[in-house]
Amino acid sequence: MEAGSETPRPGKEESGVSPFAPKHPCSYPGCATRTQTARCDLHRKQEQREYDRRRGYAAARGYNREWRIASKSYLERNPLCVGCMKKRRVVAATITDHIVPHKGDPALFWDPGNWQALCRSCHSRKTAVSDGRWG
């Protein structure tokens, strides 16, 4: 922290981990760096780069200007997160999600019947599960 900056309040950091959680070795094979998360910063960034390389960047997957316009229009008509509404919570949707992953199929990509409005949290959870990054 820089001199004169405010001391952080106890609680969860941006990573969602308590600053008081004990450190343990990085889960990357052979890495002994102690961390509060599963992977150390170096291996977390390396894993993210590899994931992005395999998956392809957004523009390469069709998320271009035309998609941004269509998505914005969809969210204006469907302003609430459907995932949160199922849990009886009212949260603004910020992402137009493909219910069934399109995997490059333009018909499925552009089918509004395959879209749903989600908040960032619900979208991140759904994407992580469907991409096999969780459970």
pLDDT digits (tens, 9 = 90+) for 47-60: 888 877 877 777 77
Residues 6+ apart with CB under 8 A from 22: 36
- pLDDT tens figures, 31-44: 999 998 889 999 99
Residues 6+ apart with CB under 8 A from 98: 108, 109, 114, 115
User: What is the pTM (predicted TM-score) of this model?
Assistant: 0.61
Q: Quick check: 1 pLDDT over 80?
A: no
- What pLDDT sits at residue 78? 98
In the structure encoding, which two tokens stand for residue 102, read together?
């399109």
Residue 123: band (very low, low, confident or very high) from pLDDT cuts 50, 70, 90: very high
Residue 13: band (very low, low, confident or very high) from pLDDT cuts 50, 70, 90: very low
Average pLDDT over residues 56-82: 90
> Is the CB of residue 72 less than 8 Å from the CB of residue 93?
no
Q: Quick check: 2 pLDDT over 80?
A: no
